[in-house]
Structure 1
Amino acid sequence: MSISKPSRTMASSSFLELSLGLLHSLYTPEFLLAYASCFFFLYLYYLLLNKKSSKIPTNWPLLGMLPNLLLNLHRFHDWLTELFREGGCTFYFRGPWFLGMNFFITCDPANVNHIFTANFANYPKGGEFSEIFDILGDGIFNADDESWRSQRRKAQLLTGHPQFRSFVAKYSRDKVENGLVPLLSRLAERGAVVDLQDVLLRLTFDMTCNLVFGVDPGCLSPEFPAVPFARAMDDAMEALFIRHFVPRGWWRLMKWLRIGTEKKLAAAWEVMDEFVAQSIAKSKEEKNYEGSLLTSYVNEIEQWNDQDSYKYIRDTTVNFMLAGRDTTAAGLAWFFWLLSKNPAAESKILEELGRIKKAQHCRPTTFPVLFDAEELAGLVYLHAALCEALRLYPPVPTEHKGSVRADVLPSGDEVPPGGKILFSVYSTARMEGVWGEDCAEFRPERWISEQGKLRHEPSCKFLAFNCGPRTCLGKDIAFTQMKAVAAAIVCNFDVEAAADGHAVQPRPSVILHMKNGWMVRIKKKKKSDP
């Protein structure tokens, strides 16, 4: 009996049926889910295996690098510094897919010079910047093109006028003598613990209000009155900082719903507008704005029925208030904190001040000893110490630009049209390739030449006062105010940290304030001290 062999046609048919059945089973929802899960975990394992101890954030599917940024937002500036140290001075941040959150982050002075100076026209502030900083309106910080040029010309004429410079110097000395020194003397007598950053913010708030409006709100009084405008500005700066790192649609929705940081920003906006309106009205009523920046806007103020004129004045004064109050106070707070950790630097400042005291024929018992702006202008070490503090803790720790056309940076990175670039001024100071192996140290001597003169550093390297055509117009004013305050405190008082356990660290905000302030005890200098 013979057994017939299966035909080739039957074998092919069976194989085809088996293959189709297998493919059908592979494309069930259960299998696809299992396959996707397996792929995801294998990819996750691959990323973690290759990441090891790297500081470079993981580029996750869909979410990009945003999770790592949000986890480090509380220490944002130090986190960026770690990224630059490991990956170089320029880094491309990839945000969530389709949300337009990709941007370059750099601390390379060559890139700064290229964008802020050499190719300035290609990198305006842009519409996105002005939308994020909408609370500043159409003021000089948000403006571009002809609007910016017009505002800058006017501000330059005002701040550079000899009469205004004289007004700044005289008022700064008077405020220190009649406001700051008496307050610190009372605190010293009581042995009270005080937040020095708060004291300095109150001082610079009074000084800035007087320079802008011709009004002294008296925030530095011994009662430490509540300052709604100052609190509002702090809340606003924190909310604006957050806007940089969340999807635009997200914060827009929060703004519409008035929730979270956007709720605080809306409330802050109302407080700031009310304060500006009251200050302008008070200045007009008392006719005491002569010498202030408001003087040049008197004609516009008279046209209050014109909403455009009023908005222009509102936006201008809010921008001036931000520039004067926050940045100067932040710079001074970090300056005194650094001096407390570097007594040798304080001794050298005292030595310089001692020479002026000798010229003034001050007695050992003289208190307080005060200085005119002209006397302080020639002090090399004091100026160097202030520059060094501003280098390590720049009041504005980041800058933000957008490109109009495609460009190639000196670092070799290709920037597309509409590309976004974030500059870390804070990190630049901590790059050995920029400032040397001792970059993290407070060393005022780096600003002094072998001949004992002040050493000039290019602004693309020392970006505390911006760079290029947008260089800060108030730089000289800021130094006049800071020197008046620094000299008075260093010469007449000792500032001691109240507790070793109090952590002083940067606050995540547009302005580099101390997160929890700095609690100190103030003591009068001993008579034997120089």
Structure 2
Amino acid sequence: MYMFGIGEILLAVFLFLAIHYWSLNRNTPITKWPVLGMLPGLLYNMSNIHDYLNLVLKQNGGTFIFEGPWLTNMNILCTSDPMNVQHITSTKFENYGKGNDFSEIFEILGDGIFRSDSHIWKYNRTLLHSIFKKESFQVFIHKTIEKKLFSGLLVFLDHACKKGMQVDLQDIFQRLTFDNICYIVLGFDPNCLSIELPEIACERAFTHAEDTLFSRHVKPRFWWKLQKWFQVGEEKQFIKNQKIIDEMLYSEIKSKREMQGERKFDLLNIIMTEAGNGENPIDYEFLRDTSINLLAAGRDTISSGLTWFFWLVATHPFVEAKILEEIKENLPSREHSWKDLGAKGLSKLIYLHGALCEALRLYPPVPLEHKSALKSDVLPSGHRVKPNTMIVYSLYSVGRVEEIWGEDCLKFKPERWISKKGGIIHVPSYKFIAFNAGPRSCLGKDISFIEMKMVAIAILLNYHIQVVEDHPIIPSLSVVLHMKHGLKVNVKKRSI
């Protein structure tokens, strides 16, 4: 007769207890398991992580503590409570920094503005703010975007129309914004967006690196660090991607250092002129860190915002019609091109601005932010915070809080942004948090709106965008809210 061994008996007992425990807790949004903590539920819902987190937050009053497996130091306070967000980002700003966990995960950013704290962050922000507010720089931004729209985007879309091609708009926007930000920051155009849609190593490296950065958030720290140490799995590819990015950046920095005579007008040259001096030029590492932070911000956030915006507009014909009507009403004449709107004309497009804000509310490009407390504190929700506690606030969930946005918070409704007098309704940044809040609010907010409006006008006025039938729209698992399968569309020329 076959006798069960001790191993089989223990396994059977474990499975019985696990199934029994699951049956008792299957109707709760998040279950705390023995030893494993809440990690199994997180992993099970990973493909739909943002809506899952939103559900858990909603059922816990906007704040809960995620408890990870034993001995992994994965306990995280998660919140979407706007009062907590305001407290963390503004009221007690000095007590909440990026922290060690963020620094380790995002080591690729160096000491740039997104990863740094205290005096290093203040220096970066002050330097960039002084440059961004200059009129000459704003004119440069406008001309750069306009030139790329004419020479790249519209040329490609005309080609796609003639060939009857299906187009992945997400890929097109990533190429477009990468070309733009490379020219703005480094003074060169990698020409990712052309009819051939070439494979540009550096542009692809950014995309793949983001995926690894996200997975570092859900893996135990020791595990991804072990993979990095032995250079296996996705950490091996991450090292290769970082090398590709660094080689491109250091090559451009070196060429600028060696340049004689009058320099080109670009952000890196402006920084080298304003922050350095003849005797002690800025070191390569500072320029590299500043550049990679600006490239990441200028490419990914804007391309993500545009992708979700065009999907929402394409699936809401009434909104599309109103945007078109507004654009045409503000054109100098029917014969004039969209570029004749100019910067002042862009500011008159109230409904378009509301539609962009609505897209960013529902699908913020950076869906999660995390901080670390320096000292003990108590949040407005009553939750106690110990030193070094990791805090994650969900920008995705803040945009879905009914107390802020109403019972129709899941609807795409640009009208919610427009006052009775026809102006834009101001919403505090800790409620409309797509550009973060407090002292670390995005410096490039105005630039982002300018680029998104210019792209939206150029496309909508010239083309009708139709999403391919049954194309799945699912957020990707990344630190930036991209679409997992891209945005496949058919493009048809519009008769004005």
TM-score higher than 0.5:
yes
Match of 1:382 among 352, 372, 387: 352
- Any stretches of 5+ residues in structure 1 without a counterpart? 1-29
- Corresponding residue number in structure 1 for 2:155: 182
Letter in 2 for 1:173: E
- Corresponding residue number in structure 1 for 2:368: 398
Q: 1: distance between equivalents of 2:447 and 2:97?
A: 26
Instruction: Report 1:509-524 matches (<5 A).
Output: 509-524=478-493
- Corresponding residue number in structure 2 for 1:451: 421
- Corresponding residue number in structure 1 for 2:202: 229
Letter in 2 for 1:356: N
C-alpha deviation, 1:44, in angstroms: 3.8
Q: CA offsets, 1:364-391, max 9 Å, x none? A: xx77776422211121001100000111
Equivalent position SS for 2:283: helix
Instruction: Report 1:99-248 matches (<5 A).
Output: 99-248=72-221
CA contact (8 A) 1:213 1:289 kept: no
C-alpha deviation, 1:349, in angstroms: 0.7
Name the CA shift for 1:41/1:254 in 2 (closer, same or farther; >3 Å): closer
Question: Does structure 1 residue 361 correspond to structure 2 residue 333?
Answer: yes
Question: Structure 2 length normalisation: TM-score?
Answer: 0.93
Q: CA offsets, 1:483-529, max 9 Å, x none? A: 1101111111101112x2210111110011111101111111124xx
Q: 2: distance between equivalents of 1:49 and 1:298?
A: 63
RMSD over aligned Cα atoms: 2.5
Letter in 2 for 1:196: L
C-alpha deviation, 1:273, in angstroms: 0.3
- Corresponding residue number in structure 2 for 1:329: 303
Q: CA offsets, 1:205-224, max 9 Å, x none? A: 11101110111111111111
Name the CA shift for 1:286/1:384 in 2 (closer, same or farther; >3 Å): farther
C-alpha deviation, 1:143, in angstroms: 0.6
Equivalent position SS for 2:139: helix
C-alpha deviation, 1:40, in angstroms: 5.3
Question: Does structure 1 residue 437 correspond to structure 2 residue 410?
Answer: no
Q: 1: distance between equivalents of 2:264 and 2:342?
A: 22
Q: 2: distance between equivalents of 1:206 and 1:399?
A: 27
Q: 1: distance between equivalents of 2:278 and 2:229?
A: 29
Q: CA offsets, 1:86-123, max 9 Å, x none? A: 23211110001111100111111111000000011111
Q: CA offsets, 1:247-280, max 9 Å, x none? A: 1111110001111121121111001001112333
Q: 2: distance between equivalents of 1:478 and 1:255?
A: 34
- Corresponding residue number in structure 2 for 1:50: 24
Please say which of residues 371-380 and 258-267 is displaced more in the overlay.
Answer: 371-380
CA contact (8 A) 1:331 1:390 kept: yes
CA contact (8 A) 2:276 2:282 kept: no
- Corresponding residue number in structure 2 for 1:490: 460
- Any stretches of 5+ residues in structure 2 without a counterpart? none
Identity over aligned pairs, percent = 43
- Corresponding residue number in structure 2 for 1:309: 283
- Corresponding residue number in structure 2 for 1:95: 68
Q: 1: distance between equivalents of 2:95 and 2:221?
A: 23
Q: 2: distance between equivalents of 1:287 and 1:158?
A: 22
Letter in 2 for 1:161: K
Q: CA offsets, 1:152-206, max 9 Å, x none? A: 1001011111110111112212221222112111111111111111111111011
Name the CA shift for 1:301/1:214 in 2 (closer, same or farther; >3 Å): farther
Report how many residues are paired. Answer: 492
Q: 1: distance between equivalents of 2:390 and 2:154?
A: 46
CA contact (8 A) 1:301 1:313 kept: no
- Corresponding residue number in structure 2 for 1:23: none
Q: 1: distance between equivalents of 2:59 and 2:294?
A: 38
Equivalent position SS for 1:422: strand
Letter in 1 for 2:138: R
CA contact (8 A) 1:350 1:490 kept: yes
Q: 2: distance between equivalents of 1:334 and 1:299?
A: 38
- Corresponding residue number in structure 2 for 1:348: 322
Equivalent position SS for 2:52: helix
Please say which of residues 259-268 and 464-473 is displaced more in the overlay.
Answer: 259-268
Equivalent position SS for 1:100: coil
CA contact (8 A) 1:241 1:508 kept: yes
CA contact (8 A) 1:254 1:260 kept: yes
- Corresponding residue number in structure 2 for 1:276: 249
C-alpha deviation, 1:52, in angstroms: 3.7
Match of 2:477 among 486, 503, 508: 508
Name the CA shift for 1:244/1:281 in 2 (closer, same or farther; >3 Å): same
- Corresponding residue number in structure 1 for 2:270: 296
C-alpha deviation, 1:74, in angstroms: 2.0
C-alpha deviation, 1:430, in angstroms: 2.0
Name the CA shift for 1:124/1:327 in 2 (closer, same or farther; >3 Å): same
Equivalent position SS for 1:69: helix
Equivalent position SS for 1:388: helix
CA contact (8 A) 1:407 1:414 kept: yes
Q: CA offsets, 1:9-31, max 9 Å, x none? A: xxxxxxxxxxxxxxxxxxxxx99
Letter in 2 for 1:193: Q
Letter in 1 for 2:65: Y
Q: 2: distance between equivalents of 1:370 and 1:186?
A: 24
Letter in 1 for 2:307: A
CA contact (8 A) 1:214 1:288 kept: no
Q: 2: distance between equivalents of 1:229 and 1:192?
A: 26
CA contact (8 A) 2:328 2:334 kept: no
Letter in 2 for 1:125: K
Q: 1: distance between equivalents of 2:337 and 2:195?
A: 20
Question: Structure 1 length normalisation: TM-score?
Answer: 0.88
Q: 2: distance between equivalents of 1:266 and 1:121?
A: 33
- Corresponding residue number in structure 2 for 1:80: 53
Name the CA shift for 1:302/1:466 in 2 (closer, same or farther; >3 Å): closer
Equivalent position SS for 1:63: coil
CA contact (8 A) 1:209 1:217 kept: yes
Question: Does structure 1 residue 417 correspond to structure 2 residue 387?
Answer: yes
